[in-house]
Amino acid sequence: MEIKEAQFIVSNSDVAKCPAADRPEYAFIGRSNVGKSSLINMLTNKKNLAKTSGRPGKTQLINHFLINKEWYLVDLPGYGYAKVPKAERLKWEKFLRRYILKRENLYCLFVLIDSRHEAQNVDLEFMEWLGISEIPFSIVFTKTDKLKPEELEANLKAYEAKMFETWDTMPGYFISSAESGTGKEEILDFIENVNQN
């Protein structure tokens, strides 16, 4: 699938004020700075559709983008960034969890993980919560352009081993790079498939 049109619709912090839940929706979540906004720009072939920054904590709201007039991509704030004041963080986490639990047209949540790092508790616990809450999700390992192929392979193996401590099967995953475009076709094909079913 190709994205021909990507249009910013609205930002807000309240799931009740999101656009009508009348079409498929896919959202990107993960630790601050993992590359959520950059991945949305890469998938949509736009440089500045979603605002990115070298400094963590850039995206602070739920941002809806209408794709090909048919479905939504959603950019979410990051979780787990220690430098954001705690009260602020708790507020985000509350509206993020509400959005995830209440948004009935959320067909799949993409959980982004930095491919360079070893498994972090905040991500593992978040995915466990998704599992318990029966929220469909896929993992996207980001920034793979920063690794040699053999390093990436070793990191993926280690991540799988860690996941198997709590999961019977490894959740589906993609590898991506917003720099090189790796993963674009696979992620868009996956979305197209889900849209059609």
Tell me which stretch binds Mg ion (CB under 5 A): 40-48, 52-60, 79-87, 94-102. 52-60
Residue 191 CB, nearest approach to ligand GTP (Å): 18
Q: How many residues at the interface with Mg ion, by CB under 5 A?
A: 4
The verdict on 32 binding Mg ion (CB under 5 A) reads no
Nearest Cα neighbor of 25 from 129, 100, 113 is: 100
Judged by CB under 6 A, the chain residues 49 through 68 that form the site for ligand GTP are 52-54, 56-59
Do residues 119 and 162 lie in contact, with contact meaning Cβ atoms separated by under 8 Å?
A: yes
Give phi and psi for 130, each to the nearest 5: -60, -45
| C-alpha–C-alpha distance, residues 42 and 14, integer Å | 26
| C-alpha–C-alpha distance, residues 138 and 98, integer Å | 19
Determine which residue in the list 89, 103, 143, 184 makes contact with ligand GTP, applying CB under 6 A.
143
Do residues 65 and 10 lie in contact, with contact meaning Cβ atoms separated by under 8 Å?
A: no
The verdict on 116 binding ligand GTP (CB under 6 A) reads no
The verdict on 32 binding ligand GTP (CB under 6 A) reads yes
Binding mask 165-184 for ligand GTP (x = CB under 6 A): ------------xxx-----
Would you state the structure tokens that stand for residue 20, as one six-digit string? 């009508």
SS3 category, 65: strand
| C-alpha–C-alpha distance, residues 27 and 40, integer Å | 10
Residue 19 CB, nearest approach to Mg ion (Å): 19
The verdict on 142 binding Mg ion (CB under 5 A) reads no
The residues binding ligand GTP (CB under 6 A) are 32-38, 52-54, 56-59, 77-78, 142-143, 145-146, 177-179
